[in-house]
Structure 1
Amino acid sequence: MPLGEYKMYKRRWCGTIAMFVLEVVASMTWPWFGPISSTAVEEFGFTLDEVNWLGNIISCAYLIVGFLTPYLVRRVGVRYTCYLASLCLLISGWIRYAGTAKGLSKNGAYALIILGQFFSGMSQPVYQILAPKYSELWFDLNSRTTATMLVSIANPIGGAIGQILSPTFSTVRQSILVLAIISTAVIPVVILVPERPPTPPTYAGSKPSPPISTLLFAMLGREPETSDAYMTRRERLDFGLLLFIFSVLLSAINTLSVLTNQWLTPYGYSDNTAGLMGAALLIAGIIAALVTAPLFDRVFTHHLSLTIRVLCPTIGVAWFSLIWAVRSNNAPALYVLFALIGGCSIALLPMALELAVELTRNADGSSAALWWSGNLFCIIFITSQGALRAPLSANPPQNMHRAIIFNGVWCLVSSVFIFALQGHQVRRQKDEQMMRRETEGGGGEKDCHGA
């Protein structure tokens, strides 16, 4: 990259907003049936495990789309990859609604609704995985984490809206129709997503996306030291730790979104209260992410790993505390714990995604690996916790106490491993070095913050 040619463009925000809005709507679907699981059982005749799979199937779709997304980006670019994701979102809404026709059998209705959920799961991961890549392509060192945060928190924002919105309708059928209308109305914003800028904002932004296979070879120590994708032994260990801990903590929070109703209603909490508690977790996290991400772009620029080492044990202890906190007439304590978990977990999300890119120098590949692994763990967590549900003869009937223990122990134990993380920000160091060379070469600051 010649000196003096780094630049940013105002239209980068149009793409950020478009991806944010699309991800919000796509993410409304995965917790949609959580707060209304009991109502769905009554209205359609599904079992609780079948309702759980309406959320679980989205994680299954991730396993297909996760590593396909970096491939599509290399083949057709960011914009057309988003077009394909939006098409899947549109299809999902109306297939799901077709499953609500009253003439259908229970099995026919379930087949169409779960197929609609699957198509939604084909859309949702694209915007999440592309967040670090888009921010690398269009944003400089002073705004990259913030851009990643804005697209990343669209997922919990969509989850919060889904948690609050789905119980407000008189029937599940009506709620599914509204979801289809929202999914259709949002599609036109995808035209605002741009492709690669004419001039990159940083050295990292000037590099083409490496294939996903290079990340695998780098993790196996098979990339030559001269390659940009080469990872030292320490970087491979750090990325492996980050991958494991991210997967467990993501699974815990996603599982709660799907099973909120089943965790809480046996202890006397209503569908609306369960939805509000799940939303409190997500809203607290959104506020925390909005506050912290700009600080890591401009103030604590080299402290991603240190902050992650502080937040992870806090999250682990909070999840573990729910073993005793989930009981009757304990709403204030539950709101506090859910807000603490959400504030730490969602603030952690863009930090983990950005640190993964720092370690691998592969924005879409590392993001795909994190989300793929996280959703694999989600399937394991949701299935395991469904199997741990107490019988009708228990006190209270069908309580999820053993599932809460499962969740808490996994989170606490995995969070301890974070103390082994070093997490040097190698990509940032290289970008700063190239920016200094640009300044010394006469490019100045104006090119970095232009038009």
Structure 2
Amino acid sequence: MSTDEKKTLLETAETSNFQASLSGQRPRPAYKLYPARFVILAVLALLNTSNGMLWITFAAIAPSVKSFYSLDSDLLVNLLSLIFFVVCIPGGFVGAWVLDTWGLRTGLLVGAWLNGVGAIVRYFSAFGHHYYSVLMTGQILCAAAQPFILFAPTKLTALWFGETERATANMVASIANPVGIAIATAVSPHLSSPSRMDVLWVYAIPAGAGVIMTTIVFCIWGSKPKTPPSTSASDEKTSFWKGLRQFWKFKWYVMLMIGWGFGVGLFNALQTFIEQLVCTRGYSEGFAGLCGALLILFGIPGALIAGIIVDHTRKYKEIMKVSYVFATGALIWFTAAIRYENEEVQIAAAMSVFGFFALAMLPVSMELSVECTFPHMSEATAAGLLWTMGQIMGIILVFIGQVPGLVTQLNQIHAPNNTCSSKPNPTISTTTRMTPTPSTAQDTVSDMINYSWMLCGITAFLAIGTILFFWPHYRRIEREYEVSVMTNESSEGVDDTVN
């Protein structure tokens, strides 16, 4: 803070407190927390849950989707999920720009309506001749909604929540997306068959509720409260374009972006290839689904605990480093265990530990993105670039999973107990579950153990780099502490003058 800024702030505080003291009143509080913040948080959590459900709707029911829409390629089914990765990259810049330029209210209204309309369009694809093109149109609209919804938690917590609430609130809003993914993965197989697609109208219900609740909430409240909850919430932020041009100047943020981007890509890769990673050693499709569920199920308490800890201790980098180390160890444990048969307990435990510590980094990283760039980047821009990097890394890692050198083709002699499909899909799969078929000695299956070891190596390298070289400055916390000290000093000066 410059000398002139400090002088202006001090004069403002002194004038306000002096006038309050002369009138016999206590100095007026500079900041205020509104109960409405919890309502807006609940609405955003609903939107994130719904969007996660719409994204992964068809991943676990690929055979039914192919039959219902008369498709002749697995790739067409996979594109229904992959389109979210593709749209989020250019759409991420639009979403961050709208949130930071036009405000939280406009951004969430746009996101909610895109999400709701997309869900309805998807539903209409089930009428008549079951039009795949209509289904894809609806899916694209839902994908376009994702940046507006996914980038909003950091913006919401900065504008509405107090200094000791932000990480926990961010966790609640952000973790709702993987919760939606877990719900859809578990429920979709029970709501579909080759002759019916009940998932379309069932998943449209929370999307429609999100539209209604978002519209009502923002007819009552605006993008931000009348009185800010903290010093940082009242500060002017840099414009979207200026922040975008200078993000590379903040080395701690760049390091965070690289680590976070790979982490999101790794999470998506594991969700994508979990069945192929375990099926060559005889682990069933159901067990692969259980591993994917454990990843998220144990990640929820991990994120909750991490959010509460950093809210009360400000130990952002410490929690980040500890989580990175244990997540890396769990990934190595998982890779070592899947080399052998009948190790269900070890594999499930490794995935649970990985999920706990991997998702613990979610609220910490989102808050760190602001701490590393404040006030030179707005909240949605800082968080949005992290998510966009994660989507890019997800696409890259999924494509790398198709490289022949990292994927070994084994025949029935070398993998006699495999439960994989005898004709593995050479295209990208987003958690597609294929029905195992009998194998012969001439059939081959993909062994991805080398790919998993590659992921372990990169994760370990980034973990070591984070431990040794990641020592960020908390710009927002330093600003709030500085203003707090100056305000206290000004209040003491006023008391001395009056007495």
Report the TM-score when normalising by structure 1: 0.85
Q: Partners of 2:134 and 2:459 in 1: how far apart?
A: 34
1:407 aligns with 2:429: no
Q: Is the 8 A contact 2:110 2:148 kept in 1?
A: no
Q: Which residue of 1 aligns with 2:384?
A: 368
Alignment of 1:32-71 (within 5 A): 32-41=57-66, 44-71=70-97
Pick closer, same or farther for the CA change 1:81–1:169 going to 2, 3 Å: same
Q: Partners of 1:387 and 1:188 in 2: how far apart?
A: 46
Q: Is the 8 A contact 1:359 1:425 kept in 2?
A: yes
1:89 aligns with 2:102: no
Alignment of 1:297-308 (within 5 A): 297-298=311-312, 300-301=313-314, 303-308=315-320
Q: Which residue of 2 aligns with 1:168?
A: 190
Q: Is the 8 A contact 2:153 2:174 kept in 1?
A: yes
Bigger mean CA deviation after superposition, 72-81 or 149-158? 72-81
Give the CA deviation at 1:392. 8.3
Pick closer, same or farther for the CA change 1:387–1:121 going to 2, 3 Å: farther
Bigger mean CA deviation after superposition, 379-388 or 355-364? 379-388
Q: Which residue of 2 aligns with 1:335?
A: 348
Q: Which residue of 2 aligns with 1:238?
A: 252
Q: Partners of 1:434 and 1:162 in 2: how far apart?
A: 46
Give the CA deviation at 1:220. 4.8
Q: Partners of 1:337 and 1:97 in 2: how far apart?
A: 38
1:322 aligns with 2:345: no
Partner deviation per Cα, 1:160-183 (whole Å, 9 max, x = no partner): 212211222342623333223332
- Secondary structure of the 1:399 match is strand
Q: Partners of 1:336 and 1:102 in 2: how far apart?
A: 46
Alignment of 1:7-406 (within 5 A): 7-41=32-66, 44-101=70-127, 103-104=129-130, 109=132, 111-171=133-193, 173-190=197-214, 191-193=216-218, 194=221, 195-221=223-249, 236-265=250-279, 267-298=281-312, 300-301=313-314, 303-326=315-338, 328-361=341-374, 362=377, 363-386=379-402, 393=411, 395=415, 396=418, 397-401=444-448, 402-406=450-454
Pick closer, same or farther for the CA change 1:400–1:392 going to 2, 3 Å: closer
- Secondary structure of the 1:423 match is coil
Q: Is the 8 A contact 1:167 1:271 kept in 2?
A: no
1:5 aligns with 2:30: yes
One-letter amino acid matched to 1:255: A
Q: Report which of the two structures shows the higher radius of gyration computed on alpha carbons.
A: 2
RMSD over aligned Cα, in angstroms? Answer: 2.6
Identity %: 22
One-letter amino acid matched to 2:257: L
Q: Is the 8 A contact 1:28 1:159 kept in 2?
A: yes
Give the CA deviation at 1:441. 3.8
Q: Which residue of 2 aligns with 1:429?
A: 478
Give the CA deviation at 1:76. 2.7
Q: Is the 8 A contact 2:54 2:119 kept in 1?
A: no
Q: Partners of 2:135 and 2:461 in 1: how far apart?
A: 36
Q: Partners of 2:261 and 2:99 in 1: how far apart?
A: 24
Pick closer, same or farther for the CA change 1:274–1:30 going to 2, 3 Å: farther
Higher relative contact order (CA 8 A, sep 6+): 1
Q: Partners of 1:171 and 1:312 in 2: how far apart?
A: 40
In the alignment, structure 2 segments of 5+ residues that lack a partner are 1-8, 14-28, 419-443, 493-499
Q: Partners of 2:461 and 2:233 in 1: how far apart?
A: 37
- Secondary structure of the 1:398 match is strand
One-letter amino acid matched to 1:120: C
Q: Which residue of 2 aligns with 1:438?
A: 487
The number of residues matched between the two structures is 423
Report the TM-score when normalising by structure 2: 0.78
One-letter amino acid matched to 2:386: L
One-letter amino acid matched to 1:256: L
Give the CA deviation at 1:251. 0.9
One-letter amino acid matched to 1:416: I
- Secondary structure of the 2:54 match is coil
